[in-house]
Amino acid sequence: MGPTKAVVKQQALYDAVSGKLIQGGFSSYRALAEYVKQHYIVLPVHDNAGKPWQLDGKPIYCLHGVQYETVDDRRVHLTRCPDCGGMGVRTEEFTVESDCIRCAGCGRECDARLEMMET
Ligand SMILES: [Zn+2]
């Protein structure tokens, strides 16, 4: 079992799958973030501007710092854009060899293999 995937609505935490309230009444986002840290909970990935990543209208979660998953535990091949923190999606019209990633936020394109070598 992985961590609980949660969504934030009006300073309350809800289970992203069942929609059930996990914990509410947080006085600040900081208090909420503190609660998330102490429990086995992950929040949706946001870009640098605080806009949540969305794939087909669903939030995306980052597990173990490297692996991206949808709410229903489907692994997705995504990369964080180095410019804006936006969601980098593999462009499918390219061949497998090129492995090109396109940012959904700012439109930046980069080679995924190149990015891996740099970091
Ligand atoms: Zn970007």
Q: Note the pLDDT tens digit of each residue in 58-92.
A: 999 999 888 999 999 999 989 899 899 999 998 76
Q: How far is the CA of 48 from the centre of ligand 1 (A)?
A: 9
Task: Give me the pLDDT at residue 36, please.
Answer: 95
**Interacting residues of 78 by C-beta distance below 8 A, sequence separation 6+:** 53, 55, 60, 68, 87, 88, 89, 90
Positions in the chain whose pLDDT score sits under 70? 1, 92-99, 112-119
pLDDT reported for residue 104: 92
Asked if 41 and 13 touch (Cβ cutoff 8 Å), the reply is yes
CA of 21 to the centre of ligand 1 (A): 33
Distance in Å, CA 74 to ligand 1 centroid: 23
pLDDT of amino acid 101: 84
Nearest to 40 by CA among 72, 63, 17, 70: 63
Alpha carbon distance, N-terminus to C-terminus of the chain: 29
- What distance in angstroms lies between residue 118's CA and the mean position of ligand 1's atoms? 17
pLDDT of 96 reads 56
| Every domain of the chain and the residues it spans | 1-43
pLDDT at 2: 83
Instruction: Indicate if the alpha-carbon torsion angle 104, 107, 108, 113 is positive or negative.
Output: positive
- Predicted pLDDT of residue 77: 86
Both tokens assigned to 74: 């489907």
pLDDT of residue 119: 46
